[in-house]
Amino acid sequence: MCFRKHSLLYLVIILLCGATQTVIAGVAYQYRTADGSIIFTDEPLELPNQLVKKMTLNWGDVKARKIKKQIVQPKKANVAAKSKNQPKFAAIVDEKAKKYKVIPELLHAVIEAESAYDPDAVSRAGAVGLMQLMPATAKRFGVTDRTNPSQSVEGGAHYLRVLLDYFDNDLELVVASYNAGEGAVVKYGRKIPPYPETQNYVVKVMKFLRRNLKKSQARSLSSTVAQTNSQGS
């Protein structure tokens, strides 16, 4: 009799645990990103990402499992490899910069700020690759593989060319638009939107750009001096 009671008790515990397993719920967030992409995350994002809805999901449901598979799995950029990766992709940057008439110093600045030259980086918002392209932006500029360095720089350079034309070469507005979308910049009177992420991003990219231009000028001056000395000898 005692054994039977214990057996029943264990059976009830097992059933309760099983029931608990089936109703375990998770939280998912659906966002519309700056370029119009719709993504799912398991944690809140900041502006310029716009929250569509917050969902409490039972992972036992078919619909919930589908959403779970779409939740962004971020991968931090390997900053330690930046010094090794930068020269590796320099030829691609030069090629795309020439093709779209964008100064390579700007392309390098954006890549450094976006991914630290890590082609496998994935942001919390689902941006992928060297130039951290979102799905809608990639589609807009014909990028089929966002992890492919050549395609990523191609798409990013093309987008920057469009933004440079649209904002009359105002670099700060171009950089702000790359982060927050041109719609946000227009919405706020063609000024940098009041999003902390975007404002910090503009400061960072412009800092890298000034440094890159300074280095390029120094190399150019050094080359000119070397040529002059060579001609005089």
Catalytic residue (one of 105, 112, 114, 154)? 114
Is 114 within 8 Å of 127 (Cβ atoms)?
Answer: yes
Cα(180)–Cα(199) distance, rounded to whole angstroms?
10
Token readout for 180 is: 């927050």
Edge-to-edge, what's the strand order for the sheet holding 38-41?
38-41, 25-32, 50-58
Specify the 3-state DSSP secondary structure of 165: helix
Cα(226)–Cα(209) distance, rounded to whole angstroms?
26
- Annotated active-site residue 105? The verdict is no
**Is residue 31 within a helix (H) or strand (E), and if so which, with residue range?**
strand 25-32
Please identify which residue in the block is written with the tokens 């795309």. 96
Cα(46)–Cα(59) distance, rounded to whole angstroms?
25
| Sign of the torsion formed by the C-alpha atoms of 212, 213, 218 and 222 | positive
Please identify which residue in the block is written with the tokens 């991003």. 201
Please identify every residue annotated as catalytic: 114
